[in-house]
């Protein structure tokens, strides 16, 4: 549970809110983050941040106001001031035309199962040493530059409200390692990623070995610029996660569905949307994801099926959309979800994907993917690292940057087979706070008739 020094202050503030007759919710986020940034085969920067953020919301009937504070929390006075500011914002607010749902911690949660003190204290020296091993292992073999980053640290998330006595607390560690190898003259880029919840999940030898499997294709063959048109594509984990994110965002959010702005707007639960190979569950209990046990409306998060064997099962409602459209919130007042695309029956390993593919484009990464038209699920994005032409079940030529412009329903209906083995794909960002997020996806997904719309003249 949260350090008692801060917890006691929060509980005192909750009591003060009750004494004043305020409906107040308190959430606290604390992180310790270290990141090393690799550029041109050197560690050019190492950073450390230790930050505490407090968010307070006050609700009075149909009016809501919030206040946030990023500071070291040392006194009850700070909390009472934050409460006062939130109350002022609430007091001046415009009332909504619906009854907002007030946060209530459904059940007490105290979950430190994802916390590894050794990963939290992983030093910048140790990270630099592993990167050096990779660089030393590969640099002599070609004209290569290495860049990348390695972020690791811990996050604590806590919430309580005046609705009841319950408190919800999560403490976890995470690590994301990305290394990019760039050929200095030919300019192609390869990447290797690792996601971990605990120390020791990977080694420099693993990383070197993964680069080494890709290097001969890139070193020994001319770049390939494909024809445009509808082609067979073997997607890899990062691309699958990107496609899954867009499919969810464009199709399964309650608010956009209610407002008829999603590509599923003409559908209802029970309709067949995708290939029957497709099952999508937000499953905090899955071992590949970070598993957020509660959301910031206080709901206990449980496995939640969105699509089952291609059939539309349910929509995601945060508390705001649920209140407005008179639905039940589904535990999605958070940004760090835990989506799982169930694996298929294909042979595990990339060799299984290549065998199944025969002739195809292998696109493991999609860069800068965006939806010009969510009502059709139309997306566009371009290939990036590790993209290779597949001929006769073998990797043959590195691909130049290739644009895919298709629709989510089309791609997820045109899946022919997927690997039976899943991998954890890190989807975290650190724009605001450390909120680790990963998806579980099959390690490969073969799709026919994927629309390729443009090919660049470089990688």
Site for other proteins in 50-109 (CB under 8 A): 50-52, 63-72, 85, 88-90, 92-94, 96-98
Q: Are 87 and 81 in contact (CB under 8 A)?
A: no
Question: Which residues within the stretch 214-243 sit at the binding site for other proteins (CB under 8 A)?
Answer: none
Residue 191 touches other proteins, criterion: CB under 8 A = yes
Per CB under 8 A, which region of 203-211, 236-244, 362-370, 436-444 contacts other proteins?
362-370
- How many helices (H) and strands (E) the chain has is answered by 10, 22
Q: Is 386 in the site for other proteins (CB under 8 A)?
A: no
By CB under 8 A, tell whether 132 contacts other proteins.
yes
Nearer to other proteins, 251 or 353 (CB): 251
Find the shortest distance in angstroms from Cβ 172 to other proteins.
17
360-363/229-235 β-pairing: parallel
Helical H segments across 180-272, by residue range: 204-220, 237-251, 254-258
Q: Return d(Cα 105, Cα 111) in angstroms, integer.
A: 14
Listed ranges 9-17, 173-181, 205-213, 290-298: which one lies at the site for other proteins (CB under 8 A): 173-181
How many CB atoms neighbour CB 140 within 10 A? 8
Q: What is the helix (H) or strand (E) element at residue 191, kind and residue range?
A: strand 189-196
The footprint of other proteins on residues 417-446 (CB under 8 A) is: 429-431
Compose the 387-406 pattern: x for residues touching other proteins by CB under 8 A, - for all others: --------------x-x-x-
**Closer residue to other proteins in complex, CB, 4/370:** 370
> Of the candidates 189, 210, 333, 437, which one interacts with other proteins according to CB under 8 A?
189
Q: Are 452 and 404 in contact (CB under 8 A)?
A: yes
| Using rule CB under 8 A, residue 203 touches other proteins | no
Contact between 351 and other proteins by CB under 8 A: the answer reads no
Q: Closest CB to other proteins among 96 and 421?
A: 96
Closest CA to 86 of 60, 61, 67: 67
C-alpha span between 94 and 127 (Å, rounded): 50
Q: Which is nearer to other proteins, 421 or 433 (CB)?
A: 433
Query: Is 384 near other proteins (CB under 8 A)?
Result: yes
Give the H or E element holding residue 14: helix 4-19
Mode of pairing for the β-strands spanning 422-426 and 144-161: unpaired
**Closest among 372, 354, 334, 349 to 159, alpha carbons compared:** 334
Binding residue for other proteins, selected from 1, 18, 40, 285, defined by CB under 8 A? 40
CB 297 within 8 A of CB 160: no
Using CB under 8 A, which of the segments 21-29, 258-266, 308-316, 355-363 binds other proteins?
258-266
CB of 276 to other proteins, least distance (A): 25
């Amino acid at each position: 549970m949260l350090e008692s020094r801060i917890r006691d202050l929060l509980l005192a503030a909750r009591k003060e809110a009750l004494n004043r007759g305020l409906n107040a919710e308190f959430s606290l986020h604390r992180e310790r983050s270290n990141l090393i940034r690799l550029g041109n085969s050197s560690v050019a920067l190492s950073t450390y941040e230790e930050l505490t953020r407090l968010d307070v919301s006050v609700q009075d009937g149909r009016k809501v106001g919030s206040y946030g504070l990023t500071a070291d929390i040392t006194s009850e006075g700070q909390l009472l001031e934050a409460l006062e500011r939130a109350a002022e914002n609430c007091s001046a607010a415009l009332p909504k035309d619906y009854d907002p749902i007030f946060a209530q911690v459904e059940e007490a949660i105290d979950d430190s199962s994802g916390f590894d003190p050794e990963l939290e204290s992983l030093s910048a020296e140790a990270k630099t040493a592993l990167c050096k091993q990779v660089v030393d292992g590969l640099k002599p073999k070609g004209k290569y530059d290495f860049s990348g980053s390695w972020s690791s640290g811990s996050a604590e998330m806590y919430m309580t409200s005046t609705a009841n006595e319950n408190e919800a607390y999560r403490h976890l560690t995470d690590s994301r390692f990305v290394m990019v190898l760039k050929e200095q003259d030919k300019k192609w880029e390869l990447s290797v990623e690792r996601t971990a919840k605990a120390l020791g999940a990977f080694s420099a030898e693993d990383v070197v070995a993964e680069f080494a499997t890709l290097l001969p294709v890139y070193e020994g063959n001319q770049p390939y610029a494909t024809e445009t048109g509808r082609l067979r594509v073997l997607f890899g984990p990062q691309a699958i996660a990107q496609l899954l994110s867009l499919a969810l965002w464009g199709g399964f959010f309650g608010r956009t569905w209610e407002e008829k702005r999603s590509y599923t707007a003409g559908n209802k639960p029970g309709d067949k949307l995708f290939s029957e190979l497709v099952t999508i569950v937000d499953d905090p209990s899955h071992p590949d994801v970070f598993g957020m046990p509660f959301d910031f409306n206080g709901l206990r998060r449980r496995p939640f099926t969105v699509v089952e064997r291609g059939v539309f099962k349910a929509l995601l409602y945060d508390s705001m959309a649920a209140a407005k459209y008179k639905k039940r919130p589904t535990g999605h007042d958070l940004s760090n979800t835990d989506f799982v695309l169930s694996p298929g029956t294909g042979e595990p390993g990339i060799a299984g994907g290549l065998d199944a593919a025969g002739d195809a484009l292998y696109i493991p990464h999609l860069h800068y993917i965006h939806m010009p038209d969510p009502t059709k699920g139309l997306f566009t994005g371009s290939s990036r690292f590790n993209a290779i032409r597949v001929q006769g079940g073998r990797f043959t030529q590195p691909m130049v940057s290739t644009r895919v412009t298709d629709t989510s329903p089309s791609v997820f209906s045109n899946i022919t087979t997927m690997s039976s083995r899943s991998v954890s794909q890190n989807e975290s960002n650190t724009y605001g706070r450390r909120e680790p997020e990963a998806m579980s996806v099959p390690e490969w997904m073969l799709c026919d008739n994927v629309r390729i719309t443009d090919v660049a003249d470089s990688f």
